[in-house]
Amino acid sequence: MSAHTDNAVTIAAPMDLVWEMTNDIESWPELFTEYGATEVLHRDGITVRFRLSLHPDENGVVRSWVSDRTADPESRTVRSQRVELGPFKYMFLFWEYVQTDEGILLRWVQDFELKPGMPIDDDGMAHRLNTNSVIQMKAIKETIEAAARG
């Protein structure tokens, strides 16, 4: 079994600003509400290997993982995958940026499968990811639109 999520938000800001802010991994703790820290481990052209760390949970546990992210400014797409998989058998992410009359449509697609024996199944994780994506996209939209207003 595998799962798929597909979420989008329209950001009323110029393409270059949206692209720059959402691909500046070092500033993600200010852009996403869930990340406590980011650490760039390696850069190779347009591909970055980095560690993301969440804020501590109610027990003080900080969850983190390593991903590879390739941002293609020509196609305005990003492909990413987890390198440290944690509960996942695999996790692939695709971001696209599309110019519309209302602004930039930022779309996130996630394809994944959980390892056997996890306390949640793929559908449950998809529900969690869909719920959180809406929260994160709203925060990103507000932050970038505020920056666009100056």
CATH number at 81 reads 3.30.530.20
Q: Is the dihedral of CA 99, 79, 4, 137 positive or negative?
A: negative
Give residue-wise pLDDT tens across range 7-36.
Answer: 999 999 999 999 999 999 999 999 999 999
Summarize the confidence of residues 66-72 as an average pLDDT: 98
Question: Is the per-residue pLDDT at 38 higher than 70?
Answer: yes
pLDDT in tens, 129-150: 999 999 999 999 999 999 999 9
Proportion of the chain above pLDDT 90, given as a percent = 99
Q: What is the pTM for the complete model shown? A: 0.94
Model confidence at 103: pLDDT above 80: yes
Confidence of residue 1 (pLDDT cuts 50, 70, 90): low
What is the DSSP track for the chain? --EEEEEEEEE-S-HHHHHHHHT-GGGHHHH-SSEEEEEEEEEETTEEEEEEEEPP-TTS---EEEEEEEEETTTTEEEEEESS-TTEEEEEEEEEEEEETTEEEEEEEEEEEEPTT-SS-HHHHHHHHHHHHHHHHHHHHHHHHHHHH-
Segment 31-46 shows an average pLDDT of 97
Domains: count for the chain? 1
pLDDT at 128 > cutoff 70: yes
Q: At what angle do helices 15-22 and 122-149 cross, to 10 degrees?
A: 130
pLDDT at position 4 is 97
State which residues form the domain around 73: 3-149
